[in-house]
Amino acid sequence: MKILVVGCGRMGAELAYRLFERGHEVCIIDNLEDSFRHLPPDFTGRIYEGEVLNYDVLHRGGIESCDAVAAVTNSDAINLVVAHIARERFKVKHVVARNFDPSYRELYELFNFQVISATGWAAQRLEEMIYHGEVRTVFSAGNGEVEVYEVTIPETWNGHSLAEILTDEVVPVSLTRAGKAMIPDSHTVLLTFDILHVSATLHGIQSFWKRILKGE
């Protein structure tokens, strides 16, 4: 995958390095040259210094051909604008953004962006969001220890019961089918393209999604 990371603070640097280690083509941009010191010395992805809201800078970062963009600066205004440009102007498939100030949370939700709060495990969560776009965070409680996720059921789980994929750390909240919502139970049979909302810990949603991917 070609991935553009906007913002090279600790979170952006960690995310860029994680993705680089997995063999992805990564470019990270920041408006301060000194920010790139957060990157490990063996990072050989592309780095570019420049104003991140400048179209020319975004083009040089390869935004027009990216599979994913992560806007993770310490400015919510910048993150919102970059995420909007990536999704609406360049039609980037996977767009995630860092929510730095909780007072901006409603704006992220208004624009329906995948968001992450400024917590210690943020880079890991961003990585999960980029890899698994079918799982979307719609509500975060506390410091993100428990979140409500929206999951689109793939064809491999058509006809399976909800009980087959639930764990102790994943609790069903609602299921929407053909525009009609219901409260599911463990016996509910899943259909392709059902929209399932679950409450889960980070570990819980990771295990949950691995089961779905394996089709077990």
CATH topology of domain 148-214: Alpha-Beta Plaits (3.30.70)
2-131 belongs to CATH 3.40.50.720: yes
57-75 mean pLDDT: 93
User: According to the model, what pLDDT value does residue 91 have?
Assistant: 93
For residues 8 and 30, the answer to whether their CB atoms sit within 8 Å is yes
Give the domain ranges of the chain: 2-131, 148-214
108-118 mean pLDDT: 79
For residues 158 and 190, the answer to whether their CB atoms sit within 8 Å is yes
Q: What is the pLDDT of residues 203-216, one digit of tens each?
A: 888 788 778 777 65
Instruction: Decide if pLDDT at 123 tops 90.
Output: no
Q: What is the pLDDT of residues 138-195, one digit of tens each?
A: 787 776 788 888 888 888 889 999 998 888 899 999 999 988 999 999 899 999 889 9
pTM above 0.75, yes or no: no
Compute the mean pLDDT over every residue in the chain, rounded to the nearest whole number.
Answer: 87
DSSP conformational letter for 120: T
Q: Give the chain's end-to-end CA distance (angstroms, integer).
A: 26
